[in-house]
Structure formats: C-alpha cells, structure tokens
Amino acid sequence: MNPQMKNLFTSVKNAIHGTNEPLENPDFDIIFELAVKQSLLPIVYEGCFEDVEFKKYNDRIKVMDSAYSVLSFQSKRTEAFDDIYSKFLENGIKPLILKGLLCRSLYGELSDHRASSDEDILIQPKDYEIAEKTLIDNGFIIEDGYVARKNLSKVQEVTFFNQEKKLSIELHFNFTGGNIKLLQKINNYFDNVFDDVVTFEYDGKIYYTLEYTKNYIYLFFHLCKHFITSGVGLRQIIDLMMFEKIYSRYIDWNKVENVLKDISLWGLYGDVIAIGNKYLGFEFSRGESIDPEMLIDDIEQSGIFGNLNTSQFMSSAFITAAFDHNKKSSRFRMLFPPLEVMRHHDSVLCDKQWLLPFVWGKRIIKYIPIFFSTRKRSVIIEADKIAQKRIQLLKKYNINM
C-alpha cells in the first residue's frame, strides 16, 4: 500500500473514533490530494489536526479553508433538503432516504464532514406526479431530457436541480437500474420495501428510510455497483462500517450472509470488512477475506466513484459490454448495447422501445469522432485497458455479471 494512503486511513480512523494515532512520515500534499479524490477532505483534515507534523505543514491554513468551505456548502444543502422533504410530507408522500442524509446522520458531530453531492430518495411510481409538482413549485427543474411516465418502475431515477440552492435530488424508483444481469437480480431483494420502513432522526427531525437489514444490504450493493462498473471509493466503505456500528443489533446477519453468498459477493464483502478492521479501527467478524490489499490498491486508483478521468469514466461501457454474454466484440457492444442497458442511459426507451436504433445513432455520433481522432483514440485505448484490468479483478472475486 502507498504509505500516504495508509496515512489517509489513519487520519480517517482518528476522526471517526476520536483517537490520535500518529501518522508515519506524512506527505500532506499527497494525503490531501488523496482525500479530495475520495471526497473525504473535511474528515481527513480533522484526523490530521492534532498530528505533530501537521502543525508544521505550510499549507495547513489553505487546507482548513478548503475543508470548511465544504462544510459550509454541505450545511446549506442539508438545510435546503430538509425544507423540501418537509414539503413532501405535507403533500402526503413519504420518500425513503437512500444514502446521503442517512449516512451523514451516522457520523454524529462530523455529519456535515461527510459531504454529499446530491440527495437520493426512493418513491413509489404512483407518487411521482405529486413529487414532481412539489419540486417544481419549490424552484427545481428536471435535468433529464425525458421522463418515462408510463413505465417509471423501469427507470432508475429522475434528477431535479435547484440552481439557487445548488441542490440536486434524485427520485429513484428501483435500486440499481438493472442495466446488467447481476444488478437486475439485486433489485429482486428489495420487493415491498414500503411495507416495512423505519425512521431516523437528524437535527431533531424525523425521516423515513429502509428497514435496517435491507438498508445495510443496499449500502453494500451500492458499493458493489460502483466497484463493478468503474471502481469504489473509501467513503462508501466507511459508510457501511458506520451503519453497522450504530445499527448492528437490528440487522439480521444470517440474511445478510445468505443474500451475499447467493450472488457471489461474500469474498468482496470479506475484504471490505477486513479493511474496516485493519485500517479503520472497527472490530467486525463477518465475511471471508480474499485480498484486502488488492482492493485498497483499486480504491486508490479509482477515487470516489471511479471517474477521476475520461478513460476511467468510459471504461464502464467496455465492462458492461464484456459481461453482456454476447459473442460480438466488446467495442461493438459498446456502440450497440442491448435495450436493457440503453434504458439506463436514455429513459425514453422505457416508454418507446422502437426508438432504440435512433438512440444507437446518437451514441455512434458521440463515439465515432473519438475512435477516429488520433488524440482522442488514446482515451478509448486506455479505457479498454482499464476495463480489462477491472474484469480480471472481478474474476478474482468470482463476480459474474
């Protein structure tokens, strides 16, 4: 492991557990660069604050300003989200919080240190019209070009944005989008989630969310989704650990094990737990670890969502194509993905399947210039290499998409 990556882990552990473990030969320029890539700057800053070497760091004021800027921005977005959530309740719908505010609530006094670029909520398709009106009446606009109102259950999310409050809200109708077979199977574990919901408190107010066991499984599945397609960040592992720390007594651990073994995710889960235990100060005993150092290397290279550069971002298209179980080349399938994949990228296909050739056409227009540009072609070649490396990693974990 990169020594500064290890210091990143130590600083996170200091912050979330209130410890003061010294860093080893810290290079704070690298540590905070890693923190930004993992969207952990305020937490890492807190974890470094008492370190003897940090007090000598020339740019500590600059880092402090950056960290507190994130905190201020997050606090305002949280306030704005609380306001719109109250409006949902007043209008008779009870959206379920996914990640975001729920995860921040796990961090106690460090809640706003855990930044969130958007807020995800799960609603029932029948409530969409009310939710849309509520958002539009409160200054939000629809970012998506088309809303598949006839088949909302097939849509992963519809995104709304409020420019004044800089708040993005994603209305979800299912959990993974189902654009590859494993993710379609994952969706099946979340039937009837609105029949058994729980509440949590944040800043003295009550919010609705998934039942504890399903919530824990969902957090891991979300982690897994990013890991499969482009890479997962450290923050998602911390979220999972914090949820277990607080709600462990409410979770059906036999069900967790059965579900993760059923879809061959037990090895990846074991490495996630091993990282939490060895480097983040937790003491959990589940899973069968394979190679946590391998996962840490991938986390460092991937950043928070595996999209640190254009090649990384594009690699997910090659990965999806490679696991499409089609004999066509992955580059061909990248240009012409099947309907169930394209629905994830263009929701108009949820209502109008016959438009698939036209959507393919738009995709070709987008990618062909890249294929034929000497300068841009290197991005495609690098994306393909990243995808092949990730596919080999998935095979080591026995993950079959």
**For 64-76, how does the pLDDT look when each residue is reduced to its tens digit (9 = 90+)?**
999 999 999 999 9
Tokens of 189: 């574990």
- In terms of Cα–Cα distance, which of 63, 61, 56, 55 is closest to 30? 63
The pLDDT value recorded for residue 329 is: 45
The pLDDT value recorded for residue 375 is: 63
Digits of tens for pLDDT over the chain (401 positions)? 889 999 999 999 999 999 999 999 999 999 999 999 999 999 999 999 999 999 899 999 999 999 999 999 999 999 999 999 999 999 999 999 999 999 999 999 999 999 887 899 999 989 999 999 999 999 999 987 777 777 777 777 889 999 999 999 999 987 765 556 666 677 777 878 898 899 999 988 999 999 999 999 999 998 988 888 888 899 999 999 999 999 999 999 999 999 999 888 899 999 999 999 999 999 887 778 889 999 999 898 888 776 666 777 777 777 766 665 554 445 566 667 666 666 666 667 666 777 777 777 777 777 666 666 666 667 777 777 888 888 888 889 888 76
The pLDDT value recorded for residue 288 is: 83
CA dihedral sign, ordered 102, 106, 107, 108: positive
The pLDDT value recorded for residue 330 is: 58
Q: Is 195 exposed, middle or buried (0-12, 13-18, 19+ CB in 10 A)?
A: exposed
Q: Any bridge partners for residue 98, and if so which?
A: 120
| The 197-202 sheet, strands edge to edge | 141-142, 157-162, 167-172, 119-122, 96-98, 205-210, 197-202
The pLDDT value recorded for residue 327 is: 43
The pLDDT value recorded for residue 365 is: 73
Report how far residue 179's alpha carbon sits from residue 343's, in angstroms, rounded to the nearest whole number. Answer: 7
Say if residues 144 and 280 touch (Cβ distance below 8 Å): no
The pLDDT value recorded for residue 62 is: 94
Rounding to the nearest 10 degrees, give the CA dihedral for residues 315, 319, 320, 323: 170
CATH topology of domain 74-210: Beta Polymerase; domain 2 (3.30.460)
The pLDDT value recorded for residue 328 is: 45
- The phi, psi pair for 76, rounded to 5°, reads -70, -40
Each domain of the chain, given as residue ranges in start order, spans 1-57, 74-210, 222-306, 310-396
In this prediction the pTM is: 0.87
Cα diameter, the chain: 64
- The phi, psi pair for 96, rounded to 5°, reads -95, 130
The pLDDT value recorded for residue 338 is: 66
What are the pLDDT digits (tens) for 228-244?
888 889 999 999 999 99
What are the pLDDT digits (tens) for 365-392?
776 666 666 666 677 777 778 888 888 8
3-class SS of residue 73: helix
